[in-house]
Chains A and B, each alone.
Chain A
Amino acid sequence: DGGITQSPKYLFRKEGQNVTLSCEQNLNHDAMYWYRQDPGQGLRLIYYSQIVNDFQKGDIAEGYSVSREKKESFPLTVTSAQKNPTAFYLCASRLSGSISDEQFFGPGTRLTVL
């Protein structure tokens, strides 16, 4: 079955630690995205990538970093510079080049900073 996987589902981190969230897709999609969602809030774009080895900052990129070494993978690192990292993180992918194609989401990772 094609889809997007994210791991882990729940993640706990101590303050001052970096942590990496995994996102893998086997949909052969070119574009991948990372969003953050806080309780009762909408989705905010952190980073997105349209092709391998290229990515762009979204609206709230500070304190985060990404890489896109493979088409299937788009890991997100939450660094110690992110002041309030506790949130629900969602990864998505989309078939690039068509304005009518929707985004598909992974199940998300809940990050809690202790």
Chain B
Amino acid sequence: RKEVEQDPGPFNVPEGATVAFNCTYSNSASQSFFWYRQDCRKEPKLLMSVYSSGNEDGRFTAQLNRASQYISLLIRDSKLSDSATYLCVVNPFGTSYDKVIFGPGTSLSVIP
């Protein structure tokens, strides 16, 4: 089993739709989690950190389920500008604090 796995995608959704991505991780001791956004041919940029209580930032909501070892990202009222690849990132406890694990990414296309 890979350390971090994501929904394979691609997701093609109409503007205004709600879409959710899931990410599973194998190391139950993992301590911190992030969602990054990567536009085509650009560098990844932090979208949200994922806290144990879940967190919301405008149209974006991140949830953590430690028992099932997955995190999710919900995007409401999708915009054309949300089209990108979304990367799940896990910082595992017990290994070097400074080495994080990137998932393969889930591609989202928002269609007019």
Residues of A within 8 A of B (CB): 31, 35, 41-43, 45, 48, 50, 56, 58, 88, 90, 94, 96-100, 102-108, 110
Asked if B102 contacts A43 (CB within 8 A), the reply is: yes
Residues of B within 8 A of A (CB): 31-32, 34, 41-46, 49, 87, 89, 91, 93, 96-100, 102-105
A58 contacts across to B, CB distance below 8 A:
99
Pull 30 A–B residue pairs with CB atoms less than 8 Å apart, ordered by A. A31-B98, A35-B102, A42-B104, A42-B105, A43-B87, A48-B98, A50-B96, A50-B98, A56-B96, A58-B99, A90-B43, A90-B44, A94-B98, A96-B97, A98-B97, A99-B31, A99-B32, A99-B93, A99-B97, A100-B91, A102-B46, A102-B49, A102-B89, A103-B46, A103-B89, A103-B100, A107-B42, A108-B42, A108-B43, A110-B41
Asked if B32 contacts A45 (CB within 8 A), the reply is: no
Give the nearest-CB partner of B104 in chain A: A42
Evaluate whether A43 and B44 lie within 8 angstroms (CB atoms) in the complex, with A99-B31, A100-B49 already known: yes
Evaluate whether A106 and B46 lie within 8 angstroms (CB atoms) in the complex, with A41-B104, A45-B99 already known: no
